[in-house]
């Protein structure tokens, strides 16, 4: 029998990160995949639901806003724009909402095993990203069917998505640990996500053929999500639409959004890192 | 090679009780779950941790398993560690056994491929082959424990932290667990076992530690630790239910009645087999003739099974004892009692007549005999017994 010479290492208790990179990503991937499978487990349509849900919302909104309110009737690309906006916002809303209860849902695991706590909120974002990936396939089919020409700016789309992932993850991290302490977070966030939806140009396009009040444009551009969505519209569907910079009234106008974005990310990281060691005790 | 573990930890665990609203003032109390705990466990050792409920055992285990963070002090561990805490290894009840076992393996630091390879072994040990794709919320508690224990064993960790596994499961599973313990031990694994069962500690552990109120009371020989643990348990038990009965009549007053150690200190507990010594102090209030002081030994059911008495030699033919004198009665008994609670009733009779009672104190002394085994019966009589086997009927 060979004696294994083990090395004494100090253990510092649970943390947001730690335990090796490979294990971190293995765990993250597995959690996200299991959760993704579980969402549609036992349903007849399975993954089709992930496509059907935004499409139904899209159909309803398209009818209401083009036929009843006549918001986008001057804008030929409005339906594609609406669909892309809904799919993207859907990702943001679903991921963040799922993250609120994510730590509580894993209570049994958190109370009994040591693992990098960060994988929990990250996995909810990743699960959301799987859904987004499926939905984007439909969106691209629509985009081509609508006759939107591919543009070199499409290459910038991943960059915009990355920004969206960033803020989604940061908010998810904060929500997941705050909910452990304050159950009010669930209610606050449901309302906030709804308000944010209307504070993001999804239903109403900003520009010459849409909503034209520039003061409102400037105000909306304080919302980092609005900036991301406006720019995605320019890059993906309507190169002629006002860019985020133009909508904000110059580069300086983007500063508040940038500050909010950075502050959100820093806050998310900070609060999660601070709370991670104590999650198991607070549950 | 010898030393693989070194764990001095100190922890002040604050349990905060929040009231009503998050924005309201925070009122909390601090619970010192563990204080100044420091110990070492060597590689390949089978280490037992015993203590009463709420003594800090589970907190300690969670600290070792990196589920809680110590407030002060350091914990150093060599090798990979697999915990089995509160009868589980951390399962998500909404997932199937297969998913849970794989997820748990990855958490324990195996690759997904490795854990999938071990799945069969886990399921076989747990005897749950048919239920591998069933969600855990549909499992019985026994099935869950089996799966959890099997998962922990197959994680192939160097150190196993096990909390109370032997308290559950049917006899067959318990046998499997004990077999697994022996195998792990033979393979040089380090095992830390938390338990209430003294026989488990004495049977398996190389060393054991007793924790009480968050402090280490004893570390060392498992038998000695077990005895200390029992003593601790019964001391508490006896303190709680001390009984007050009238100890005075017009003629005689009982000042004191207690068991004593060799050194003359009062005792409420006594170890099985250790001689019982008792002392009674009486004050004589009126002149009494022909005093007898008698005792009845009774068990917890109130069944008096032994009686003995001593006459007091007084003055003159009638053995007169004058008012204002003090009387001390000492008695020493061979302790044949079985573990459990016992009482001694004390009676004082006049005129050397058992029915002529001057004072009777029910449950004058209340004590606990402690020991590892509790056999059937009232007393444990010394005996020499042998069994002889022959091939033929004796002539």
Secondary structure (3-state) at B14: coil
| Within-domain flag for A15 | no
pLDDT band of A79, cuts 50, 70, 90: confident
What residue in A sits closest to B59 (Cα-Cα)? A281
Distance, in Å, from the CA atom of B14 to the CA atom of A281, rounded to the nearest integer, reads: 9
Same domain (yes/no): B265, B221: no
| Within-domain flag for B344 | yes
CATH of the domain at B349: 2.70.50.60
B114-119: list long-range contacts, CB under 8 Å, 24+ apart.
B118/B154, B118/B156
Query: Does the beta carbon of B24 lie under 8 angstroms from any beta carbon of chain A?
Result: no
Of A8, A20, A23, the CB nearest to B78: A8
For B:150-179, CB contacts with A below 8 A are: 158
**Structural domain of B280:** 252-370
Of A6, A9, A105, the CB nearest to B43: A6
Q: Is the pLDDT assigned to residue A269 strictly greater than 80?
A: yes
**Structural domain of A223:** 21-277
Q: Say if CB A88 and CB A132 are below 8 A apart.
A: yes
Phi, psi for residue A277 in degrees, rounded to 5: -65, -20
Phi, psi for residue B89 in degrees, rounded to 5: -120, 10
Predicted confidence at residue B6, as pLDDT, reads 36
Contact residues on chain A for B19, CB-CB shorter than 8 A: none
Q: How many residues belong to chain B?
A: 395
- Please list, in sequence order, all residues whose beta carbon lies within 8 angstroms of the beta carbon of residue A250, skipping any fewer than 6 positions away: none
Same domain (yes/no): B28, B155: yes
What residue in B sits closest to A41 (Cα-Cα)? B95
Distance, in Å, from the CA atom of B324 to the CA atom of B107, rounded to the nearest integer, reads: 78
Contact residues on chain A for B107, CB-CB shorter than 8 A: 23, 27, 109, 113-115
Of B68, B79, B83, the CB nearest to A113: B83
| Within-domain flag for B34 | yes
pLDDT per position in chain B (395 positions), as tens? 223 333 434 444 444 444 444 444 444 556 677 877 888 888 888 888 888 777 778 788 888 888 888 777 788 888 888 888 777 788 888 888 888 888 888 888 788 888 888 888 888 888 888 888 888 888 888 888 888 888 888 887 888 888 876 666 677 777 888 788 888 888 888 888 888 777 777 777 888 888 887 888 888 888 888 778 877 766 654 443 344 456 777 788 888 888 888 887 888 888 888 899 999 989 898 888 888 999 999 887 778 889 999 998 888 877 888 888 889 999 999 999 888 888 898 989 888 887 788 888 888 888 888 887 767 788 888 889 989 888 887 66
Q: Say if CB A186 and CB B26 are below 8 A apart.
A: no
Hey, are the CB atoms on A11 and B66 less than 8 Å from each other?
Answer: yes
Q: Say if CB A257 and CB A222 are below 8 A apart.
A: yes
| Within-domain flag for A4 | no
Structure-token pair, residue A95: 């991921």
Contact residues on chain B for A3, CB-CB shorter than 8 A: 1, 188
Closest CA–CA distance from residue B132 to any residue of chain A (Å): 15
Of B69, B85, B158, the CB nearest to A112: B85
- Residue B352 Cα distances to A112, A203, B293, B358, angstroms: 69, 108, 9, 11
CATH of the domain at B188: 3.40.50.300
Hey, are the CB atoms on A22 and B111 less than 8 Å from each other?
Answer: yes
Contact residues on chain B for A30, CB-CB shorter than 8 A: 102-103, 106, 112
Query: Does the beta carbon of B1 lie under 8 angstroms from any beta carbon of chain A?
Result: yes
- CB count within 10 Å of CB B244 equals 6
B72-75: list long-range contacts, CB under 8 Å, 24+ apart.
B72/B9, B72/B10, B72/B11, B72/B12, B73/B8, B73/B9, B73/B10, B73/B11, B73/B37, B73/B38, B74/A10, B74/B8, B74/B9, B75/A10, B75/A11, B75/B7, B75/B8, B75/B9
Same domain (yes/no): B153, B43: yes
Of A4, A13, A182, the CB nearest to B66: A13
Contact residues on chain A for B43, CB-CB shorter than 8 A: 6
Total number of domains constituting chain A: 1
Residue reference for tokens 């007169």: B320
Total number of domains constituting chain B: 2
Secondary structure (3-state) at B39: strand
Hey, are the CB atoms on A112 and B83 less than 8 Å from each other?
Answer: yes
């Amino acid at each position: 029998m060979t004696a294994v010479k083990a090395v004494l290492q100090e253990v510092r208790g649970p943390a947001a990160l730690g335990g090796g990179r490979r294990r971190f990503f293995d765990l993250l991937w597995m959690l996200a995949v299991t959760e993704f499978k579980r969402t549609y487990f036992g349903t007849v349509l399975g993954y089709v639901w992930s496509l059907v849900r935004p499409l139904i919302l899209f159909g309803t909104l398209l009818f209401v806003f083009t036929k009843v309110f006549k918001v986008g009737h001057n804008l030929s690309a409005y339906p594609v724009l609406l669909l892309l906006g809904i799919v993207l916002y859907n990702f943001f809303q679903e991921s963040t909402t799922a993250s609120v209860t994510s730590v509580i849902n894993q209570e049994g695991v958190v109370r009994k095993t040591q693992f990098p706590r960060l994988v929990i909120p990250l996995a909810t974002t990743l699960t959301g990203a799987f859904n987004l990936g499926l939905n984007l396939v439909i969106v691209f089919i629509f985009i081509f069917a609508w006759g939107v020409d591919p543009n070199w700016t499409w290459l910038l789309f991943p960059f915009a998505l990355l920004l969206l992932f960033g803020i989604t993850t940061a908010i998810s991290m904060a929500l997941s640990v705050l909910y452990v302490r304050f159950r009010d977070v669930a209610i606050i966030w449901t309302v906030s996500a709804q308000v944010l939806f209307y504070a993001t140009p999804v239903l109403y396009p900003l520009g010459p053929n849409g909503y034209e009040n520039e003061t409102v444009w400037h105000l909306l551009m304080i919302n980092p999500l609005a900036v991301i969505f406006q720019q995605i519209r320019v890059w993906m569907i309507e190169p002629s639409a006002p860019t985020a910079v133009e909508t904000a009234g110059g580069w300086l106008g983007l500063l508040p959004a940038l500050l909010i974005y950075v502050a959100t990310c820093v806050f998310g990281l900070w609060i999660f890192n601070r709370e991670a060691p104590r999650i198991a005790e607070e549950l | 090679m010898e030393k693989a573990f070194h764990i001095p930890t100190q922890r002040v665990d604050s349990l905060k009780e929040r009231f009503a609203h998050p924005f309201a003032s925070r009122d909390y109390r601090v619970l010192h779950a563990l204080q100044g705990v420091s110990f070492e466990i060597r590689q390949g050792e089978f280490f037992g941790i015993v203590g009463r409920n709420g003594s800090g055992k589970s907190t300690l285990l969670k600290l070792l398993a990196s589920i809680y963070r110590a407030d002060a002090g350091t914990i150093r561990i060599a090798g990979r560690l697999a915990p089995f805490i509160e009868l589980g290894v951390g399962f998500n009840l909404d997932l199937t056994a297969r998913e849970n076992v794989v997820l748990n393996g990855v958490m324990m630091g195996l690759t997904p491929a490795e854990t999938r390879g071990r799945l069969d072994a886990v399921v076989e040990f747990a005897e749950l082959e048919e239920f591998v794709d069933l969600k855990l919320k549909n499992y019985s508690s026994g099935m869950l424990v089996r799966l959890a224990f099997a998962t922990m064993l197959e994680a192939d960790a160097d150190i196993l932290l096990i909390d109370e596994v032997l308290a559950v499961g049917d006899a067959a599973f318990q046998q499997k667990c004990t077999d697994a313990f022996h195998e792990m031990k033979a393979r040089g694994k380090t095992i830390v076992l938390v338990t209430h069962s003294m026989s488990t500690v004495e049977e398996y552990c190389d060393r054991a530690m007793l924790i009480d109120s968050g402090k280490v009371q004893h570390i060392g020989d498992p038998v000695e630790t077990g005895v200390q643990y029992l003593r601790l348990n019964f001391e508490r038990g006896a303190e709680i239910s001390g009984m007050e009965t009238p100890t005075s009549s017009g003629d005689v007053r009982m000042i004191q009645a207690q068991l004593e150690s060799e050194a003359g200190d009062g005792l409420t507990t006594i170890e099985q087999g250790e001689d019982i010594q008792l002392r009674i102090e009486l004050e004589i209030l009126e002149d009494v003739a022909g005093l007898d002081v008698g005792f009845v030994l009774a068990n917890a059911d109130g069944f008096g099974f032994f009686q003995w008495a001593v006459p007091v030699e007084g003055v003159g033919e009638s053995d007169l004892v004058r008012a204002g004198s003090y009387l001390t009665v000492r008695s020493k008994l061979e302790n044949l009692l079985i573990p459990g609670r016992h009482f001694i009733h004390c009676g004082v009779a006049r005129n050397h007549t058992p029915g002529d009672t001057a004072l009777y104190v029910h449950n004058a002394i209340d004590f606990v005999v402690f020991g590892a085994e509790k056999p059937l019966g009232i007393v444990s009589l010394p005996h020499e017994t042998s069994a002889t086997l022959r091939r033929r009927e004796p002539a």
